Amino acid sequence: PEGILETLYRHQSHPPPDKLADFIEIFYHEEYRQQNPDLKERLEEYESKLPQPDYAYRHQLAMCFSHPNYSDRLNQINVPTLVIHGSEDKVWPIENAHYLHQNIPNATLAIIEDSAHMVFIEKPDSFNSAVMRFFRQFDLYILENEILS
């Protein structure tokens, strides 16, 4: 979405504490923020214990702007693919998830409602259920092939 990646990229390192609230608003769904009023303090503590190096942060963001467009090769993906997306993600539009789902053969799409970019933190049960449903289809495939062999 317009302005979001630019805002993130403007900071060449993790946001200073006075800007962390802006990042929280971008990455976390409003409902999650309301249910976790101590989120800013928890993130500051986490960052102090396990800081991401500034170069890693810069490279991660740079890839959002500079990676080649491989969309014409999505149809060549021939492995099971699960696309998980938060319904309210402000970083990547939900249309991106639908595009991946439509253009990767046999992809599975899981939209997690009322979640944003940090869907795996905000809705861990829904996220894990989607992953396990995806994996279970392969357990059944393996089991069926073992029985038939």
- pLDDT digit string, tens, across residues 51-108: 878 888 878 777 777 778 889 999 999 999 999 999 999 988 999 999 999 999 999 9
CA distance 41 to 18: 12
CA atoms within 13 A on the CB side of 12: 1
CA distance 3 to 147: 54
Find out whether 86 and 122 touch, Cβ atoms under 8 Å: yes
Find out whether 39 and 24 touch, Cβ atoms under 8 Å: yes
Find out whether 77 and 106 touch, Cβ atoms under 8 Å: no
CA atoms within 13 A on the CB side of 89: 20
Reading the block at residue 121, the tokens are: 């933190």
pLDDT at residue 11 tops 90 = no
DSSP character string of 57-90? HHHHHHHHHHS---GGGGGG--S--EEEEETT-S
- pLDDT recorded at residue 69: 85
Find out whether 98 and 113 touch, Cβ atoms under 8 Å: no
Reading the block at residue 120, the tokens are: 């795996």
Q: Rounded to two decimals, what is the model's pTM?
A: 0.80
